Chains A and B, each alone.
Chain A
Amino acid sequence: MKLVLGIGNEILTDDGIGPRLVNDLSKNCLNQNVHFACACVGGLEIIELLNGYDEAILIDAIRTKNGTPGSVYLFSPDDFRETMHLSNLHDISFLTALRLGKKLNIKLPEEIRIIAVEIIEDREFSNELTPPLNSRYPEILKEIKDYLITEQVFDNSV
């Protein structure tokens, strides 16, 4: 069983692009072996969300230095190695959560991929994406959908 998980806050402008993409992707997937879900925080909760799946794809927002809004990046959890072992203010980090799950023999996906979309605004409350991201949204959706088809996450896409 595969999980496609959108992470973000839908009322915080571009921060909600992950859940929005997952919602739209779910309409284009007939594969019964794929579950779609959304979450707004990581940490300990991520263990429960990933528990029991064979494979997981997380879709989130990202801000990088000099990044182009709408760029889509692909990571593996190892790409975040530098954040390992470190706590955050409210919860444990993503990688610490994964390590904790494995330590406690919780069934976590063998493969986890993280798709991240470069965003502009995540501090202002709004239901809408910023105009540059909104105008690029169809191609962002297509890029991610094509990737998931190529990777056979979507077997029977429409």
Chain B
Amino acid sequence: MQKFNTLKSIPAYLPIVNIDTDMIIPKQFLKTIKRTGLGKNLFFEMRYDDNGKEINDFVLNQEPFNNSKILIAGNNFGCGSSREHAPWALLDFGITCVISSSYADIFYSNCFKNGILPIILEEEKIKELSEYANRKEEISVDLNDQKIIYGNNEIKFEIDPFKKKCLLEGLDDIALSLKKSDKIENFENKLKDKKPWVFND
């Protein structure tokens, strides 16, 4: 997994609430057996017309937002399906940081598995930051210090310390858990004794 440390970009602002994973990446693109290549279909239905032509009004089709690494969006971002294709599509497009006032749980957790930082801020601050998108000015994100720097201001954000560590170091969850193999085995042995039916034996 790609490490996340600091990031500087003009943010793109999508002022829609409840952006669901069907909007982020529609089902016709879930037929892939790969993790890559989904960026061109990110927000497909808002981004292209019926003939596959880019819709000029859509923010990610406009300069400089077509190169944004930061996406600011309305609350409850990523609701709906568990599809990890949603963060894969964001990542493949180049977005590695999302800022919203809230996220759906599964999407939130999926981001961290892919080196994407989902930041939670109050609505008021979201509006303030969105001004930078409107003015096409850069903002910076510093994960280590847990802050966003914009103009002469900065704002702190909260993040789970373990998730932060994994992002900063690009750690592989599975490798970390496999270090606890003894504990897993121990648990399994007790389980066989206590609930023998669980193992289908």
Tell me whether A and B are bound partners: no
Binding site for B on A (CB under 8 A): none
Binding site for A on B (CB under 8 A): none
